Amino acid sequence: MSEALSGLDGRYDYVIIDTAPGWDQLIVNVLFYATEVLVPVALEVMPLQGLAEFMKSLGSIQKYRKEIVLKYIVPTFMDTRVKGPETIYSQLKKLYPEYICTPIRYSESLSDAPSYGKSIFEFAPGSTASADYRELVKKVTQDNKADLL
């Protein structure tokens, strides 16, 4: 993967690689290329358990590759109409306070946009989800500017 993506180095400020959840050869390869990790976590019990497993596995990679760091945990599917997501978000804030981002609120538009071949910004630019993702992009870019100073 590093060889395949080496042509991108220096050409872009960010190269975002989106993988499926889990732990397989693709994810291991991505982690040997990446320097920063952003982990989206749906505010449900199973994804929270998956995050704990991912953190252990990331620690294994960091033994060989010190420059890779977890930068952000992004809670997703924050649905304030039910109690569960708030409870899990509170747990995440306690477990990983230095990495946790503002949650992405639930929106049907997030499920609908891909079926129209559009991003959330194209499909529902005024939605709460697009506003939340805009804020996430601002946070990541501002944090990285601060790291360069």
Q: How many residues in total does the chain contain? A: 149
What pLDDT is recorded for position 9?
80
Give the predicted TM-score (pTM) of the model.
Answer: 0.88
- Cα angle 109, 24, 141; round to 5: 50
Which domain does 64 fall in, by range? 2-106
Quick one: 91 and 141 in the same domain?
no
What totals of helices (H) and strands (E) does the chain contain, helices first?
7, 2
Considering the domain architecture, whether residues 97 and 136 belong to the same structural domain is answered as: no
Q: Are 100 and 122 members of one domain?
A: no
Same domain, 112 and 99: no
Domains contained in the chain, number: 2
pLDDT cut 90: percent of the chain above it:
62
Low-confidence ranges of the chain (pLDDT < 70): 146-149
Residues 55 and 122 in one domain: no
Name residues whose C-beta falls within 8 Å of residue 68's C-beta, 6 or more positions apart in sequence: 31, 34, 35, 36, 37, 58, 61, 62
Coil, strand, or helix at residue 7? helix
pLDDT tens-digit readout, 107-124: 999 999 999 999 999 999
